């Protein structure tokens, strides 16, 4: 790598890690995004997922860049390690994320249709719908808007950021946090429902 590029990147990194470094994130993004995006494309991800995985990598960088230690190696080496782990995470979580998205869309349809059946699949849908309502009521309006547009309406992170006039990193972080909250709440509700049905009191007959 040319010395002038290395010097530039090290100077940019120093600004980012500085307490006043937020003003340099746009420059950091402009310089490194094409590099990371090219790396992600080489990993043979679906074309439709390249931008989102690239954005996920930037979120990870944003959250952990202060942990980079120059004494442990060059910044680009560390950068590619972060990118590699993000790609691995994508392939590991791809099926689970697809199921979560489908569940959220199903729950949204349950809300709109006001279904009242007590079949098992409908009960699960009602739990999802109830959870979404609870999370929406407990969330900051912007946080929920980011999640809703991504997972219920299918918008890209870039489109959400532009529509809401927010930083893409901010959008991605809040989508992830809200999705985790929804998942945890659904799993807890279903677990509680199963426990109640399986308890001796729930299954006992009146004397």
Number of neighbours of residue 144 by Cβ within 10 angstroms: 17
Task: List the structure tokens of 95.
Answer: 């099926």
What pTM was estimated for this model as a whole? Answer: 0.48
- Is residue 152 within 8 Å of residue 110, measured between CB atoms? no
pLDDT at 49 over 90: no
Residue 171 near residue 160, CB atoms below 8 Å: yes
Helices assigned H by DSSP within 3-119: 3-17, 25-42, 47-64, 75-113
3-class secondary-structure state, position 38? helix
Domain with residues 3-203, CATH architecture: Orthogonal Bundle (1.10)
pLDDT tens digits for 111-127?
A: 444 444 444 444 555 66
Task: Tally Cβ neighbours within 10 Å of residue 74.
Answer: 13
User: What are the tens digits of pLDDT across the range 131-179?
Assistant: 788 888 888 888 888 888 887 777 888 888 888 888 888 888 888 888 8
Residue 95: pLDDT over 70: no
Helices 47-64 and 157-164, packing angle to 10 deg? 60
């Amino acid at each position: 790598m040319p010395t002038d590029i290395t010097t530039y990147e090290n100077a940019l990194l120093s600004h980012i890690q500085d307490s006043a470094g937020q003003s340099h994130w746009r420059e950091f993004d402009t310089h490194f995004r094409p590099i990371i995006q090219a790396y992600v494309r080489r990993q043979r991800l679906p074309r439709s997922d390249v931008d989102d995985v690239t954005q996920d990598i930037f979120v990870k960088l944003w959250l952990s860049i202060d942990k980079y230690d120059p004494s442990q190696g060059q910044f680009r080496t560390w950068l590619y390690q972060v990118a590699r782990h993000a790609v691995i995470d994508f392939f590991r979580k791809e099926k689970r994320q697809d199921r979560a998205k489908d569940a959220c869309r199903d729950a949204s349809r349950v809300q709109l249709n006001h279904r009242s059946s007590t079949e098992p699949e409908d009960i699960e849908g009602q739990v999802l719908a109830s959870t979404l309502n609870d999370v929406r009521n407990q969330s900051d309006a912007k946080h929920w808007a980011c999640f809703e547009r991504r997972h219920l309406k299918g918008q890209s992170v870039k489109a959400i950021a532009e529509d809401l006039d927010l930083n893409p990193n901010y959008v991605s972080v809040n989508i992830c946090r809200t999705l985790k909250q929804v998942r945890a709440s659904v799993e807890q509700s279903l677990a509680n429902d199963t426990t109640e049905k399986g308890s001796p009191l729930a299954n006992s007959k009146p004397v």
